[in-house]
Structure formats: structure tokens, C-alpha cells
Structure 1
């Protein structure tokens, strides 16, 4: 489902998504190389390659002595790329691919948070998974998925990754829109995988479980 691609291409897609979702507008100056590389969790060399890709696509442009900017477009070329205006349903696989890349990094970073932050996040996550069945309307799977997405957003916030948090939140908002079209099914494998992710937080195996979750999420979102 997810084609292998160079890390620089993934980073280029991430930056492109931030522009499409109006995080950066036409004419805006991009953060400096050190700041942006740190926010995205990649090396400066990888970031440079990603920037080169976007410059070649005329998404970004370099103004010598000033910095890198979102390319100016003629009036005919300007488009509204906000989440509300684009047809996200035709971009579903791209959104899931970007989400997988961003979220996986946050789950891996969980082990580097303070002990107090880890316990707070894990307790909140577990409380969502123990919601009483009688209080919900056959929507358990979607509640679990939403709980996982919100937990990942909190990890990004606790790591003070404001740029990544914004991108993550944008991709999650799209997934939540997809979920609204699904007729919930009780007892899906997704619920068990999310429980396994909670138990594996702070361990290397969380990545493998999350990979399986993303595959199952892709199948689940094809059922609308």
C-alpha cells in the first residue's frame, strides 16, 4: 500500500502538505534550515534535498541573500489548497502515507519524553480505551482511532514540535472526515491493534504494530 520512497521525498511531501493546508501561504518565507530540520526530525542534508525537489517543482523559490519562499504564482495559477477546499477523497492514500511517516516518528519519540509526561499520556490514552460500551452508539472503533490520533498530537506538543504538530493535526483532521463516512463495526482488528500500541509505547515494537494498524486503517477506510 505504501510505496518506498527516499526520506528527502517524504520530507518534500510533508512540506508540500503544509503549504496545501495553508500553514504557509504564497509569498511566505520558510523557517531557516536549522529550525526546519529540527522540527521535521531530519538531518540538514536531507532537508536540503527536499528543498531542492520543491524548488525544481517550482513550489519554493530562493531569493538570494534573503531566504527560501513559497513561490509566487500568477493569478491563473493560484489555487486554494486549504483542507476545506481540496477534494481530500482523491488524496486518501497520499494523506495516509504522510500520516504514517509523521505519526510513526512521534510514537518512536515517546520514549524520550519525561517519565511524568509518559505516564500522563499513557493514562489518558488508556482511559479512552476503557470507555463504557453502554455510553456509546456502536462507534467503538472510531473512538479508538480518534483517541490514538489525539494521543499522537499530544506527544508532538509535549516535544514542543509546533510545526510538526500542525502538520499532524491537519492530516488527522482529514482522517476524521473519512471516518464520518464509515459505518462503524464492532470488534474490528483495529481496536486490538490500538490496545497493543498503548502497551508498546516506549518500546521499539510499537513501530511494527503501528505499521499493521496503518495497513488495517487503509482497508477500513475503503469500506465507505
Structure 2
């Protein structure tokens, strides 16, 4: 007879395998506890413990009043490097420095591999950024979406996994520089240059404009 903890882990592994086999995909709602209890031939308490295990690993997420869903970013925590525990004084600069190392090359890959669908999503994200800035709204969310599309356009799943770290840098950067008068106008120009380079399949220009965009942000931090 299985120990309850071991049985819960086995049930968690079974559900995880279902996700790996594409029986459930990110965003899908899992059947309710009663259904899972019958399907897996275990008690409801075992199912609940298995779900807790998978939630702690960011494979599942529980939405109050709605049910249990497969996480959008499977297995990836919101703060994988423990950034929130680091010295906050130099954190923003260090995040931008990391972006400067990674994102120009990611933009070059996007220029080489972006599909028509990727380009359409990039245009939509850029349009949303411009609309936010022109109307005096915080453009952080759409800025993140823009960079997210570029990373996805690289069609490299590992790059997609490191996005939360990049997002952290973008989020902090927009917050710190949005009070600067020229920041919004500069953001539009930078994003447009990056977008057009990727649309034209120009890898070197994509790298150049992405690097300039991030370097500008770093300069504002220093100031």
C-alpha cells in the first residue's frame, strides 16, 4: 500500500504526463476533483495534494471560483533567479545590462525567422505602444508584449523561457523613465526602428536598433 505522500506524487506525475502528452495544454481547465478522483481511482484528498504539488511547481494554477488550470508558462516561476531578493539599488542597471547582452541577438534571430503571423503581432503591439504614449497612458504592458513577440519570433523555446527576467527589466525601466519628457517619443522611434528592421529581415539592423534602445534606457538610469 502506498504512503499518502508517495501516492500524491504519483498522481501529480500522471497529470503532468497528460500535459506533456498534450491532453491538456496551457490555459486549459482541468476536470473537477470528483472527475479526477474517478478517473485516477484515488481519493479526493490525494487529488488535492497532487494539485498542490503541481501548483507549487507552476504547472497548474488555481483560480478562485473558477477551477484549476494548466499554467501558461509551464514550470517557470515568476522570479526564477530570485531577483526580488537582490540588492535593489543596482538591480535595474544589472537587468538592463543583461538585456543588452541577450536581446540584440534575439532581435537578429527574429529578423531571420519571423513569420507573417509574428510580424502582424509585432505591428499590433507597436500600435498599442504608440496609442498608450500618445494618450498619456503607461505603456509598460504593451512594451512587454512587443518584446515578448520578438522573443517568440526567434522560434527558440529556451529564449521564451527567459522572458520573465527580460520583462522585469522592461517593467522597471518604463516605471523609472516614463516621467522624462522625451522618453515616450524616444520609445516610439526605437520600437519603430526595431520593428521595421525585423520586418525587412535585416539581422544587423535589428541588433543595432535593439542595442541602441536598451543603451538609451541604461543612460536614463545613470542620469
From the superposition, tell whether residues 179 and 132 of structure 1 become closer, same or farther in structure 2 (CA, over 3 Å): closer
Q: Is 1:193–2:182 an aligned residue pair?
A: no
SS in 1 for 2:131: coil
**Cα deviation, residue 218, structure 1:** 0.6
For 1:85 and 1:118, locate their aligned partners in 2 and report how far apart those are by CA, in whole Å: 35
Q: Is 1:169–2:164 an aligned residue pair?
A: yes
**Cα deviation, residue 159, structure 1:** 4.1
SS in 1 for 2:82: coil
Q: Which residue pairs with 2:106 in the alignment? A: 106
For 1:132 and 1:179, locate their aligned partners in 2 and report how far apart those are by CA, in whole Å: 12
Q: Which residue pairs with 1:211 in the alignment? A: 211
C-alpha offsets along residues 183-203 of structure 1, whole Å, 9 cap, x if unaligned? 523333343222222222221
TM-score normalised according to structure 2 size: 0.51
1:107–1:207 contact (8 Å) kept in structure 2: yes
Q: Is 1:116–2:87 an aligned residue pair?
A: no
From the superposition, tell whether residues 220 and 171 of structure 1 become closer, same or farther in structure 2 (CA, over 3 Å): same
Q: Which residue pairs with 2:91 in the alignment? A: 91
1:196–1:209 contact (8 Å) kept in structure 2: yes
Q: How many residues are aligned here?
A: 139
Q: Which residue pairs with 2:151 in the alignment? A: 156
Output aligned runs, 1:1-224, within 5 Å: 82-131=82-131, 135-137=135-137, 139=138, 143=139, 147-188=142-183, 189-201=186-198, 202-203=201-202, 204-223=204-223
From the superposition, tell whether residues 91 and 176 of structure 1 become closer, same or farther in structure 2 (CA, over 3 Å): same
**Cα deviation, residue 107, structure 1:** 0.7
**Cα deviation, residue 133, structure 1:** 5.5
Q: Which residue pairs with 2:72 in the alignment? A: none
From the superposition, tell whether residues 181 and 147 of structure 1 become closer, same or farther in structure 2 (CA, over 3 Å): same
**Cα deviation, residue 167, structure 1:** 1.9
TM-score normalised according to structure 1 size: 0.51
- Unpaired runs of 5+ residues, structure 1, are 1-79
- Bigger Rg, which one: 2
For 2:132 and 2:177, locate their aligned partners in 1 and report how far apart those are by CA, in whole Å: 21
